[in-house]
Amino acid sequence: MRGVYDRPRYSELLQEYEAPSPVGIAEALARNYHWTIVPSGQIVLNQLGLSTQVPAAWTFVSDGPYKSYQMGGITLRFKHSTNKNISGMSLKSAMVIRALKELGQDEVQEDVIAKLRSQLTHDEKQRLYCESQRATAWMRPVIKKICEE
């Protein structure tokens, strides 16, 4: 893509250069346009270990405009979100909140809470609890459970 460059990494296992990752390209675009981005949809669920599905279209929420980019067989989509939903939060906190939104109130069970709790360090839990003050009302008790030691 014009303006996006990658220094390919060599894989000793495959004995060839690796293709750039869609997440890396999205981060490069966000840096270039000064956007804050957070993975959304199946990406965030996959990265947090809540799903094994790999998305066909890589979707991110951002404080930038709605935009789509096509590269090879991969589509990168950026959806605009209000600043309060993503700005001023650590990436991990924003990802947990996006995952909860993606799952929905009815799908967040004890196994999801336990899995998220095990993936966060003590500092990340404290940060999540503080940064989630503006989260949707139904998420507050769930986040409180996640942050319990």
22 & 92 share domain: no
Residue 37: the pLDDT is 92
75 & 9 share domain: yes
Domain final position from 61, 82, 103: 82
Q: At a CB cut-off of 8 Å and minimum separation 6, what does 13 contact?
A: none
5 & 52 share domain: yes
Residue 95: the pLDDT is 92
77 & 16 share domain: yes
98 & 53 share domain: no
Domain final position from 26, 50, 82: 82
41 & 2 share domain: yes
Does the pLDDT value for residue 127 go beyond 90? yes
Whole-model pTM: value is 0.83
Query: CA-to-CA distance for 44 and 59, rounded, in angstroms?
Result: 9
Range of the domain at 42: 1-82
Residue 1: the pLDDT is 67
The CA-atom distances, in angstroms, between 89 and each of 26, 53, 71, 133, 135 are: 18, 26, 29, 11, 11
Find the mean pLDDT for residues 83-109.
86
63 & 96 share domain: no
Domain final position from 60, 82, 104: 82
Q: How many domains does the chain have?
A: 2
Q: Minimum mean pLDDT among 16-20, 76-80, 91-95, 140-144: which range?
A: 16-20
Residue 115: the pLDDT is 92
Does the pLDDT value for residue 42 go beyond 70? yes
Q: At a CB cut-off of 8 Å and minimum separation 6, what does 134 contact?
A: 84, 85
Distance of CA 109 to the CA centre of its chain: 20
